[in-house]
């Protein structure tokens, strides 16, 4: 599948494009070629949920001048797995920008991915890219905002660090009760999946499909840093919480969790807070289940904080987007197992599904 414009050819990524794509992505990712290559391979070529091509390339005169990557994932609804794909990294060579190339690549992707995926999701649109996604038929699923736990001292440290006036926090949080709670940078995929299998999956909700292969791959990212909080009773894991760390180590984002009951999750969160490792702890404010919602409320998290005010002023509150890959003429195009994917209450998603996590 390919398309021609007056100057460029748009087609599915092939292995022969790899070096050219890496050169173009250097404008987006920076000049560290080895790190870029490792990250590209992990994100687009090793993803266990990939079905077919990892993205779209644009070439001119035989040279790659644009790339639009796509990040696949699996969701589960009422015991059935469905495939979704997310627009990932998009970059166009400076000489070819402002020519509509990004949107043109997106249109080819819509045709190319339709046989293998049910929906597009987008967690990382920007003010600049949002109009293009709307032209491609994306709809708002939910506003993207965080519930946060911090205080004036933590917020002050975080702002100072963002301006280079305080250093990073490379240290590892430690539990005050290591016999029950372990806080570590090491993933334990087998134990985590065993716990997931012991917990009830919400009925009539679209949830992230989690499996051993997904976890084993997910936490090997060469660019992201993770922290894991495990609660155990003897040899049995009772809860886990996965956090992604900011580049300076001062903010943690809750990406995923599982628990046998609310008390075990509360122990995990209280242990994380008492370790005093982070200036801010955050979680996306939609798709939060009842147990996590109650624990967040009881441990001082709020959607109404100075953090949110500042971030809204700087970045705005951009939406999470969704778009079906079926024909626009189908009346049920927004239905997945009978659930309207445009309604946030039909989702119980974990931020771990996002390509940015």
Write down the pLDDT at residue 93.
92
Write down the pLDDT at residue 329.
42
Write down the pLDDT at residue 330.
52
CA atoms of 129 and 134, how far apart (whole Å)? 9
Write down the pLDDT at residue 158.
80
H or E segment and range at residue 350: none
Verdict on whether the full-model pTM lies above 0.85: yes
Residue position matching structure tokens 């992201």: 224
With the C-alpha atoms ordered 171, 173, 176, 181, is the resulting torsion angle positive or negative?
negative
Which regions of the chain are under pLDDT 50? 328-329
Write down the pLDDT at residue 4.
52
Write down the pLDDT at residue 111.
84
**Residues 6 or more apart whose Cβ sits within 8 Å of residue 95:** 65
Write down the pLDDT at residue 327.
54
For residue range 146-160, what is the model confidence (pLDDT) as tens digits? 999 988 788 788 878
For residue range 84-125, what is the model confidence (pLDDT) as tens digits? 898 889 999 998 888 888 888 988 888 888 888 888 898 888
Write down the pLDDT at residue 328.
46
């Amino acid at each position: 599948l390919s398309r021609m414009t007056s100057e460029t050819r748009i087609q599915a990524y092939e292995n022969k494009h790899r070096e050219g794509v890496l050169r173009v992505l250097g404008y987006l990712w920076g000049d560290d070629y080895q790190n870029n290559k490792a990250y590209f391979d992990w994100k687009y070529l090793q993803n266990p949920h990939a079905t077919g091509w990892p993205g779209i390339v644009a070439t001119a005169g035989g040279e790659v001048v644009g790339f639009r990557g796509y990040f696949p994932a699996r969701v589960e609804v009422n015991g059935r797995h469905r495939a979704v794909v997310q627009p990932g990294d998009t970059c166009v060579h400076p000489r070819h920008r402002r020519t509509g190339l990004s949107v043109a690549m997106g249109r080819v992707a819509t045709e190319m991915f339709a046989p293998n995926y049910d929906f597009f999701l987008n967690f990382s649109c920007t003010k600049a890219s949002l109009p293009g996604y709307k032209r491609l038929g994306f709809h708002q699923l939910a506003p993207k905002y965080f519930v946060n736990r911090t205080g004036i001292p933590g917020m002050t440290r975080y702002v100072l660090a963002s301006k280079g006036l305080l250093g990073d926090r490379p240290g590892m949080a430690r539990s005050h009760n290591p016999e029950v709670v372990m806080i570590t940078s090491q993933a334990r995929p087998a134990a985590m999946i065993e716990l997931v299998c012991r917990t009830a999956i919400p009925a009539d909700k679209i949830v992230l499909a989690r499996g051993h292969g997904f976890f084993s791959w997910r936490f090997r990212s060469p660019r992201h840093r993770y922290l894991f909080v495990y609660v155990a009773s003897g040899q049995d894991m009772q809860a886990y919480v996965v956090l992604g760390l900011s580049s300076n180590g001062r903010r943690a984002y809750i990406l995923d969790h599982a628990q046998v009951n609310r008390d075990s999750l509360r122990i995990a969160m209280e242990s994380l807070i008492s370790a005093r490792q982070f200036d801010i702890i955050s979680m996306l404010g939609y798709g939060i289940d009842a147990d996590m919602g109650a624990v967040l409320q009881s441990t001082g998290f709020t959607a109404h904080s100075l953090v949110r005010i500042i971030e809204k002023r700087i970045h705005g509150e951009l939406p999470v987007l969704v778009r079906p890959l079926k024909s626009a003429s189908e009346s049920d195009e927004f239905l997945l197992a009978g659930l309207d994917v445009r309604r946030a209450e039909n989702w119980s998603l974990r931020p771990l599904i996002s390509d940015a996590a």
